[in-house]
Structure 1
Amino acid sequence: MLYTLTILLPVIIIAFVMPSYYVKIITAETEKLTDATLVGLTENIQTYLDDLERVTVSPYTNNEVMNSLKQKARGFNSPPDNYSKYKADYTLYHTLPSLLVNLRKDILGTLLVAIDGSVYYNDSSSQLTEIRSDYPYKEQSWYHQAIAANGRVSFVNVHPQDYLKLTTVPNVFSVARLIKDPDSKQPLAVIMADADTIILDRIVRQVSVNVNSIVTITDKDQKLIYSNTRLSQEVLNQFLKNPTNIDLNQQSYVAVSREIPTSSWKITVWLSKAELASKVYWMHLIGAIFAAGGVVLAFFLFFAYSRNLLKPFKEMIGVMRQVQLGNMNKRFSFRGQDEIAQLGNALNRMISQLDELITNEYLNKLKLRNAEFRALQSQVNPHFLYNTLNAFVSLNRKGEHALLERAILSLSGMLRFFLTSNDSCSLEEEFSSIQKYGELMSMRFSDRLEIAITIDPQLAPFRIPKLLLQPLVENAIIHGVEPCENPCRVEVSAELLPGINGNESFAIRIADNGIGFNTSEQIGDQHIGLSNVKERLELAFPDKHEFKLESSLGRGTTITIIISLNNEEPAK
């Protein structure tokens, strides 16, 4: 079990679990970065598609073009006169190209097919490209797609530009639209703007992706529009069936996709799992080396040193058993200066000290009471300084440097009182210290805090543990006044109580009208301060005091301490 826990389990974790864990982390982070990259890529392609779409609405911006298209539509039913036909053709041959001029050279050209079958083409590169007169334009899928869209933009998949007389027919993708009469809503023509697929490759290459990643763009019918790697339809179908895990060229990929809203195109980046895993290959290698070395070293150390290590420990156990039986003269024999010798020497010193402690047990018990008293008192200073320094930070942030200087001087005066050697002080000195602390807090809270301190002159010389009341006043301000939005008042008073059966006593009262709290719940630092005060009262005035706490939410808190005057005063 020890070998499994100390050797085998760490080896498994270092060599296998940690690399796998980091691969998952790297994969998740890469997916997030890729998704963020796709946002910019999607916006770039969307901007380009918007440019194409704007080209298709150009005819609507010119009345002469629209009138010519209307003339063509009317001539489809009744042939127009030669002059009207000439005027319409002139407008579509000369005016229309000026509307379709655009600054993007990657928009190859614009094709317009009038409803009467007339075809007009504008080449963006200013080349006199001719159209084919024998081409069945109205039978093409893009034409029917535009008619079905009924005036809305239609995104056409990649197709050959075979309706032009070109030596080499390129593949293009297009945006088509049906031009309609704004008044009668009758179809007038179909316009289509062509774009070279090379622009998609340029846009994709502007974005940084992993070296072995594959980028694809598919249309709404899941047909491939673009890919930076040659893909077969079989691989594409595999992607469509299982987009989270694809096997290509004996590699696994993770897909990150984002859709272009207007065209419903989907851009997908396939992240290579092998490339992601290669980033932690060094962890596998180093983990295996350290694991193997650790196993060999562990076996060597175990067999070489186990006997020498166990023997002295058994002797120490024997010495401890003798001491347990009461033989305080038993000692451990050791040689050398190694760790075991140091441990044996420490054991012998411990036995000697234990013997001395048992001898002086009675005296230690007498001193225990004062030691506990001092320990409880020492808890007050750090707690007070913590909250006071927080108040200084608040003044500094407000830029009240003059007030901060006064506060620091007041604190230095209080520290002189705190650092005196006496463990007790007169009630008058304690109230004076509280008065200075109240001045510090008044500087911090300004008009939100009012402190009233009253003491019966007869009680001024009575001695109590030093800083007994300060934590209670501090709790009243920090936990009662600070969270309250309204101005608050803290009252600290000491007064004589009427004697009952000859027993004279007096009451110390700390009250505030802050937010209060539920006395059935323990409240962090406030509870620690109350426990400290209770324990110090028990040490200083055992069985001669009472501690009362009254509080409710929204009505403040009142703490009353009643001490009998017939009790001995606390030791100085």
Structure 2
Amino acid sequence: MKLIMLYSLTILLPVIIIAFVMPSYYVKIITAETEKLTDATLVGLSENIQTYLDDLERVTVSPYTNNEVMNSLKQKARGLNTQIDNYSKYKADYTLYHTLPSLLVNLRKDILGTLLVAIDGSVYYNDSSSQLTEPRNDYPYTEQNWYREAVTANGRVSFVDVHPQDYLKLPSVPEVFSVARLIKDPDSKQPLAIIMADADTIILDRIVRQVSVNVNSIVTITDKDQRLIYSNTHLSQEDLKQFLKSPTHIDYNKQSYVAVSREIPTSSWRITIWLSKAELASKVHWMRLTGAVFAAGGVVLAFFLFFAYSRTLLTPFKEMIGVMRQVQLGNMNKRFSVRGQDEIAQLGNVLNRMISQLDELITNEYLTKLKLRNAEFRALQSQIHPHFLYNTLNAFVSLNRKGEHALLERAILSLSGMLRYFLTTHDTCSLEEEFSSIQKYGELMSMRFSDRLEITITLDPALASFRIPKLLIQPLVENAIIHGVEPCEQPCKVEVSADRLPNINDRECMVIRIADNGIGFNTFEQIDDQHIGLSNVKERLELAFPDNHEFQLESRLGHGTTITITISLNNEEPA
């Protein structure tokens, strides 16, 4: 209690009041006032940009003011449906090549140019700088987003975000923003052309630099889809997404920003000024410096006070930390030596009780998980029985339909022998027992398929006693016969083998291989319910040999399927 009181009086109160409370209060006031001034600045800035966009919009309605231009566009549209004479074509082209540029020549000089795409595919471009810039005739104009947006707007103005001016024959392709509009026949409302006025983003930079903003502030202009149109600093689209994701808490280039924005009504563009919090906070930097000096002095004083009491207080806590580390390493028998009846002694008693309870909980949790895993293992193994019976009974039905009653009787007797093996209570078996069951199953299937099926089984004698989950391999052999051999019209062969591999990375392994040359399947397609045995085997392998096995499946249509199971021999029994 003495240390807490001394620390509070010498450090906490001066640091909180001087270094945090007062500077934060003044920064909040300065930020609010700056936001108001910035909002007023945005009003003028948005009006200037709106005026420029209005000028661009007026460019797009200029064809309506000249009857010759409109008649020429109507001639172009009429030529799509009816044949017009060469003179009319020449007159229409002449008007669009000469009259239209003269119509646009007295507009703003800072507009780069105007592109007009007639409904018949003819393209005309007027360069405001009086250069003979030509449009590209092989350019897919109708596939561009700005063309589609203008058609969708149906005569209203469409504001196009920054895009490359790659539809012109230029040595280098600049970035521009544009205003587009669909020109329609005033009488029939038939589409005649798409006109688009291009402007350089430098114009936006000039407009922005006419107003005064803080040095470290960032100015951005975005369209209605939050795509970046302009930024007074290098700002990628990913950086902009970071800004827009959390506008109230923005960290960029190790600085924090606060956003002030305003929307330009007609275009739905949004102009935003991101004010640097560091620049605002720098105005009260002297207050933070004073608080830091007080804090440093308090820390030094507290250090000497704490050092005086360290022998009495720190030693028991160090012992507790040592006990906790031993418990963390798995030594649940470690306990703290309690001395006295003060608060530290009470804490030590609580720590000892906690370790005892933790030891009990860990033991109970381990036993619960062990029982749960055994239950899952038996549930997965029980799935094999109906799966096997389903396929075997289908085979019996096939023999019965063929009228092979003698083979059917032998098959039923073989099945009864196999069921005696299946219904034993053991969850595991030796490889020799599993391969013997597979041998009987192969004989059963050979009765059905006759000359179409040949089964070869090979077992390394050294692996005969290795224990595996019962019926682990049999479902894979079933799949090979039912899904690989049965649909194939040619004689097929199924090979089952278990071999010991030499030491690999100081680990001795066993490899079980099931291969057939049947029809195969596409491993990229989802495996359906008919392959339940395959997923069952994977799950049982994971339960029996966690982190000590590999399962590989290779199959090609028309070439057969090969399954390879690799199990480490370091663990003699399944988990």
Q: TM-score, normalised by structure 2?
A: 0.49
Q: What is the TM-score normalised by the length of structure 1?
A: 0.49
Higher Cα Rg: structure 1 or 2? 1
